[in-house]
A = this chain, B = another copy of it.
């Protein structure tokens, strides 16, 4: 019995854009989001009820209730799992330091991230970014703008006309006037969603720009206007959410782009590297110890946390 997740990820089915939105929501927190009503799911995905039903049929079910029945049996199977039984008893993993258990949580969240986004989403974004004829701008909230900055750093190696907007201020909105169909805006907006970012992205979309959104499973309001939405779970047992999975996602996007570079672009990257080398911006520490990845720089002072 194939599980519904596999069906959703099956490339052969060639889901339509609306259908993919549904798939995305479904995968983002699988499978609970499919356990409510069809309309509810439709609303979450921002599509009509009809489309949800059509997807169910396309996947080979008799209708939505049929799909749901399958989902339910999957849930049941998982709840029956011996692992869970074990865990119910043994309350929590051994009491470690705060930092350590935090890192464990992050690792789990990243695992969740993997299954939360269909494979071809990255590909789609990669294409949008690399094929954009106009400008590619990046914007983010109080913390996420740093992620925007990182991605901007990578992207500007691959193409010209990349613009990191940085902190949004009143004058930032002026640049909206130049936005048009050929431009792309990559927005980062994780809860709690920031009014200025939402407003900015909305208006960019209004002017015809293609909006790519990175957000969490609760979906920033920007999702309404986004061409592609990349969802990232980032909840951890801490007052603040973790952005590490989001970083991993943009890096995955970069890996995706790298794998499909054409020759022109590849030359661009090489040129950049050589320019940097010529200006001695970086320094390599020579690896004295043959195969082992551990060099031996002298440690003069202080502590070195080591593997």
Q: Which residues of A contact B (CB under 8 A)?
A: 25, 29, 31-33, 35-36, 40, 43-44, 46-47, 69, 72, 75-76, 78-79, 81-89, 92-93, 96-100, 102-108, 110-124, 142-143, 146-147, 149-150, 153-154, 191-196, 198-199, 202-203, 205-206, 217-221, 223-231, 233, 238-240, 242-245, 247-249, 251-256, 258-259, 280-285, 287, 289, 291-307
Contacts and interface: CB of A to CB of B under 8 A. Distances in A.
A240 B154 contact: yes
Nearest to A229: B304
Given A229-B302, A303-B206, A119 B143 contact: no
25 contacts: A33-B292, A35-B35, A40-B292, A43-B296, A44-B294, A44-B295, A75-B75, A86-B108, A97-B119, A99-B256, A103-B248, A110-B244, A121-B305, A146-B149, A150-B243, A191-B284, A194-B281, A194-B283, A199-B306, A225-B303, A238-B254, A238-B258, A242-B247, A242-B251, A244-B251
Nearest to A25: B294
Contact of A282 (B36, B194, B281): B194
B252 A102 contact: yes
B224 A239 contact: no
B193 A284 contact: yes
Contact of A120 (B79, B97, B124, B193): B97
Interface of A is mostly: helix
A85 B111 contact: yes
Nearest to A31: B79
Given A87-B83, A149-B149, A203-B303, A102 B143 contact: no
Which 8 interchain pairs have the tightest Cβ spacing? A46-B299, A192-B282, A99-B122, A97-B119, A195-B307, A99-B252, A43-B296, A146-B146
